[in-house]
């Protein structure tokens, strides 16, 4: 907890509002621990029930999480704080390898293609998905053995995940998640008042035994990344996907959400868990190949899930702009864009391999089969990240990606030139010395 801040208030509403304001203003940092319920109650002169109710309200609003012996902590990405406020500081001249962004040099220009668009005028009551986009999406998903008879469009991958979970789960339900895993999902679950059950990840992705344990303990859904897993770069080979399907055979009522966020940027084939249970969704985002500002993803799933997602969407945002959908069609059918995406995929693979090779040459364990990132297990991620920052390299400490797994660093390789890999590896070796390194999980 920050030395500058201690919660105040005489009622549960006042206490929760004070904590929320402290998070919003930065007086209470992401990851900071709040006092135990009884300790704060004694300090404020209120009942433990009053503090417990305040903490419960903060959990429901996606500000804090409670995890047994770890106590109540501010989320790495609390719902009251904009994502930009949580970026690591990037001093002048430092190399930023922390953000998880694609390389802007490989993103297609929207302007010329937008000027060539002539989308139909759309009124209320029109179909929510542009037919040309649906046809292209079905073709691409079918090539990856994903059934796409039922399909819709969401405002990005996380929007699709949220809507899929909301279509089937209730507050308090447990969700099996990858650990380490994408912090966006972990924070989303907390904001939805869903309970994350961590499942170990190895270089082949989600471990079957860990998933089985989570499901036997009552998890009603699982969120999995079949390739380009964030942050570890894991990718499910065919055999591992088959093992996971065998586990899911005993749990046909579980919702399976497969996050294919890298899409065409991934060199590895997609071995999806689509249709492994009665309720499922595969979400393919366009943000990595075309840019995060293209808030568009296609979601294929069973008829009931897709119908519920569309029904709930209609009560709020209604639909994803057909102008954006038409732009996706233009991008998907443009040979120049296809060539650019192919070039980006090859370049990212080469940059990732260069860093892994340079680290291996120094005896440093690292992981990254697929995607935009390399994961480096360490014994003390805070110390290592600070030392790298002092050396001019900004990486992401693993805390925001972890629940119960060991510490690590995430390095985004998209802008890391191959020639820079040995220099970065040397800096990482210096940052880790004399500390040891742990296993992935």
- Are residues 25 and 41 part of one domain? yes
- Are residues 396 and 276 part of one domain? no
pLDDT value of position 125: 82
pLDDT value of position 88: 60
pLDDT value of position 128: 87
Is there a domain that residue 153 lies in? yes
| 65 DSSP β-pair partners | 73
- Are residues 322 and 178 part of one domain? yes
Count how many Cα atoms sit within 13 Å of the Cα of residue 189 in the half-sphere of its side chain.
25
User: Among 179, 172, 167, 191, which Cα is nearest to 77's?
Assistant: 191
Q: What is the pLDDT along the chain (441 residues), one digit of tens a residue?
A: 444 678 999 999 889 889 988 888 888 888 888 999 999 999 999 999 999 999 988 887 778 887 766 788 888 766 655 444 555 678 888 999 998 999 999 999 999 999 999 888 888 888 889 999 999 999 999 999 999 999 999 999 999 999 999 999 998 899 999 999 998 998 899 888 899 999 999 999 999 999 999 999 999 999 999 999 999 999 999 999 999 999 999 999 999 999 999 999 999 999 999 999 999 999 999 999 999 999 999 999 999 999 999 998 888 888 999 999 999 999 999 999 999 999 999 999 999 999 999 999 999 999 999 999 999 999 999 899 999 999 999 999 998 899 889 999 999 999 999 999 999 999 999 999 985 444 444
Is there a domain that residue 81 lies in? no
The last residue of a domain, from among 333, 351, 366: 333
- Are residues 194 and 179 part of one domain? yes
The last residue of a domain, from among 307, 333, 359: 333
DSSP conformational letter for 269: P
| 180 cis-preceded (ω within 30 degrees of 0) | yes
- For the domain that residue 161 is a member of, what is the CATH number? 3.40.640.10
Residues 403, 186 contacting (CB under 8 angstroms): yes
Is there a domain that residue 45 lies in? yes
- Are residues 236 and 164 part of one domain? yes
- Are residues 127 and 100 part of one domain? no
Is there a domain that residue 296 lies in? yes
pLDDT value of position 63: 85
Return the structure tokens found at 286: 């366009």
- Are residues 312 and 191 part of one domain? yes
Count up the domains in the chain and report the number: 3
The last residue of a domain, from among 294, 309, 333: 333
User: Among 359, 335, 367, 339, which Cα is nearest to 420's?
Assistant: 359
∠ Cα 162 168 169 (to 5°): 80
Q: How far is CA 420 from CA 68, 93, 103, in A?
A: 42, 15, 15
pLDDT value of position 177: 97
Note the pLDDT tens digit of each residue in 49-93: 999 999 988 887 778 887 766 788 888 766 655 444 555 678 888
CA distance between the termini of the chain: 27
Where in the sequence is the domain holding 353, given as residue range(s)?
87-105+337-432
- Are residues 157 and 259 part of one domain? yes
Kindly give the pairing relationship between strand 221-224 and strand 174-179: parallel
- Rounded to two decimals, the pTM is 0.82
- For the domain that residue 33 is a member of, what is the CATH number? 1.10.10.10
**pLDDT-above-70 percentage for the chain:** 94
């Amino acid at each position: 907890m920050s030395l500058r801040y201690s919660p105040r208030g005489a009622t549960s509403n006042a206490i929760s509002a004070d904590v929320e304001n402290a998070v919003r203003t930065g007086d209470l940092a992401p990851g900071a621990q709040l006092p135990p319920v009884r300790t704060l109650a004694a300090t404020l002169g209120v009942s433990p029930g009053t503090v417990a109710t305040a903490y419960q309200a903060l959990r429901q609003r996606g500000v804090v999480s409670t995890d047994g012996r770890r106590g109540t902590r501010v989320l790495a990405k609390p719902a009251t704080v904009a994502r930009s406020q949580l970026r690591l500081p990037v001093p002048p001249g430092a190399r930023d390898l922390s953000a998880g962004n694609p390389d802007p040099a490989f993103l297609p220009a929207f302007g010329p293609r937008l000027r060539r668009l002539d989308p139909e005028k759309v009124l209320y009551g029109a179909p929510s998905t542009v037919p040309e986009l649906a046809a292209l999406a079905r073709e691409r998903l079918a090539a990856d053995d994903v059934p796409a008879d039922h399909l819709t469009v969401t405002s990005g991958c996380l929007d699709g995940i949220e809507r899929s979970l909301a279509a089937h789960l209730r507050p308090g339900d447990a969700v099996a998640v990858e650990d380490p895993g994408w912090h966006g999902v972990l924070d989303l679950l907390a904001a939805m008042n869903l309970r994350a059950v961590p499942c170990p990840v190895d270089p082949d992705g989600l471990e079957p035994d860990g998933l089985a344990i989570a499901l036997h303990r009552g998890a009603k859904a699982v969120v999995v990344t079949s390739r380009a897993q964030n942050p570890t770069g894991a990718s499910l080979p065919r055999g591992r996907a088959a093992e996971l399907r065998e586990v899911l055979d005993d749990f046909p009522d579980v919702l399976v959400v497969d996050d294919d966020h890298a899409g065409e940027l991934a060199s590895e084939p997609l071995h999806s868990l689509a249709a492994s249970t009665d309720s499922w969704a595969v979400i393919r985002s366009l943000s990595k190949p075309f840019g995060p500002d293209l808030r568009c993803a296609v979601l294929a799933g069973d008829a009931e899930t897709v119908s519920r997602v569309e029904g709930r969407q209609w009560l709020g945002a209604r639909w994803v702009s057909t102008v954006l959908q038409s732009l996706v069609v233009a991008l998907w059918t443009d040979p120049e864009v296809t060539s650019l995406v192919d070039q980006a995929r090859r370049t990212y693979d080469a940059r990732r391999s260069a860093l892994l090779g340079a680290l291996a040459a120094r005896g440093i364990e690292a992981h990254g089969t697929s995607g935009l990132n390399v994961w480096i297990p360490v014994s003390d991620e805070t110390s290592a990240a600070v030392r790298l920052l002092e050396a001019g390299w900004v990486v992401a400490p693993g805390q925001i990606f972890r629940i119960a797994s060991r510490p690590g660093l995430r390095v985004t390789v998209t802008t890391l030139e191959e020639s820079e890999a040995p220099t970065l590896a040397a800096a990482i070796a210096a940052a880790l010395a004399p500390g040891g390194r742990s296993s992935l999980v």
